[in-house]
Every structure is written in C-alpha cells, then in structure tokens.
Amino acid sequence: MIELYVFRHGQTDWNKAGRLQGHSDIALNDTGISQAKKLAMKFEKIKIDHIFSSDLIRAKSTAELALGELIPMTLHPGLREVNIGDYEGLAKDELPQTFNLDAWLARGENLKFPNGESKEEHRDRIVQTIKEIVASTEHKSIAISTHGGSMARLLEYCENYHQDIILENCALAKVTLQQDQFLFECFL
C-alpha cells in the first residue's frame, strides 16, 4: 500500500483576485507563505519519504515551506493545474459569455477550454502522472504538492470519494493506492 499526502499550494495574488492561473507560474503571496508554514504543522507526525511537486513555483514553494528542504523533491510538469488555454490569466467575470465556467465545473467532463484541456483530459493526465510516479519509486509515503483542480480530479477518481467541496489553499488529503485502486482516506 502506498500513502499519498496530496495538498494544494498556498494562496497567490491571482487566487485572491479570482484569476484563472492554469499553467502560469505565479508565486505565493504573503498569505500563501503563511498558509504553507501552517501546513507544516499537519506534517509534523507524518513520515514522508519523498515529495513530488508540480514544477510551478507556487506548488514548489509550498512544498519547501511545509516539508522543509531535507526531504528529497522531484518536480513534475504532469502535476500542473488544468491547461486553461486562451483563458489563462482572465478573471471569471472576464470570460466570454459563450464559455460557461459553472457548467465546466459542474459537469464539464468533455467541455474544453479553447486551446486547453477538458476535465477528463486533466484527470487522465493527473492519474497517469501519479501512477508513473508510484511505479518509478520504492517510497511508500509520498507527498504530492499540486493545484486545486489537480487535487480535485484525483479525489474524484478515488473509488470511495463522494464529496463536492471547494478545496481551499493548502488543503491536505490522504489517499492510498492499493492494487492500482485509489482510495480517499481523509482530509487532514
């Protein structure tokens, strides 16, 4: 059994402003730095063998602040947020009226951002990336520093996850991987 401790990065100025970040490399703001330091307290009694992080600075910085620099970390672009394509950097109220973000969030499995990804493509990328990570290492307790959408897609893929909640910055969930099956254990 593999234990995955999956967490969302801390707040950025774009989070605060309601801008869609996607693959944009936006740093943590002061609130995000504080959130990441608080996340460290949740990890005090958890033994982590290795950190895998999105290669975007907001996820990497959150991992470093929450887990320190003594635990080995590997950056992986497959853990990035959904590719928002043409809408990257826009605020929700700046989106064209022809694109219904609420519909995408609610049931947009195949609704695709122009020149970006659909939820299904994003989920498949995240799940495949994590399966590849697990197959490439002997570590049994792994931290995954990622993004809100990426974390949501992984949780939705879990057999036993049936919640519909907003994942706040620095949300932390424990997921186990047993015989190629992802299981949601709990939020920490």
The pLDDT, as a whole number, for residue 112 is: 87
Is residue 109's pLDDT more than 70? no
The pLDDT, as a whole number, for residue 93 is: 87
Res. 30 pLDDT band, cuts 50 70 90? very high
Where in the chain are the domains? 2-187
The whole-angstrom distance between residue 118's C-alpha and the CA centroid of its chain comes to: 16
Contact between 75 and 146 under an 8 Å Cβ cutoff? The reply is no
Q: Which of 3, 9, 23, 88 is catalytic?
A: 9
Structure tokens at 57: 């600075």
Active site residue 9: yes
The pLDDT, as a whole number, for residue 107 is: 65
C-alpha dihedral over 178, 143, 127, 173, to 10 degrees? 80
Residues 6+ apart with CB under 8 A from 62: 7, 8, 9, 10, 28, 32, 35, 36, 39, 53, 145, 170
Q: Measure the CA–CA gap between 41 and 162, rounded to whole angstroms.
A: 27
Q: Which of 3, 81, 88, 117 is catalytic?
A: 81
The pLDDT, as a whole number, for residue 108 is: 65
Active site residue 81: yes
Res. 36 pLDDT band, cuts 50 70 90? very high
Q: Measure the CA–CA gap between 164 and 78, rounded to whole angstroms.
A: 24
pLDDT per position as a tens digit, 76-102: 999 999 999 999 999 988 988 878 777
**CATH classification of 2-187, choosing from 3.50.50.60, 3.40.50.1240, 3.30.40.10, 3.40.50.720?**
3.40.50.1240
- Spatial CA neighbour of 85 closest among 66, 56, 112: 112
Residues pairing with 118 in the sheet: 112
* Average pLDDT score, the chain: 94
C-alpha dihedral over 147, 5, 102, 88, to 10 degrees? 10
Task: Give the global pTM.
Answer: 0.95
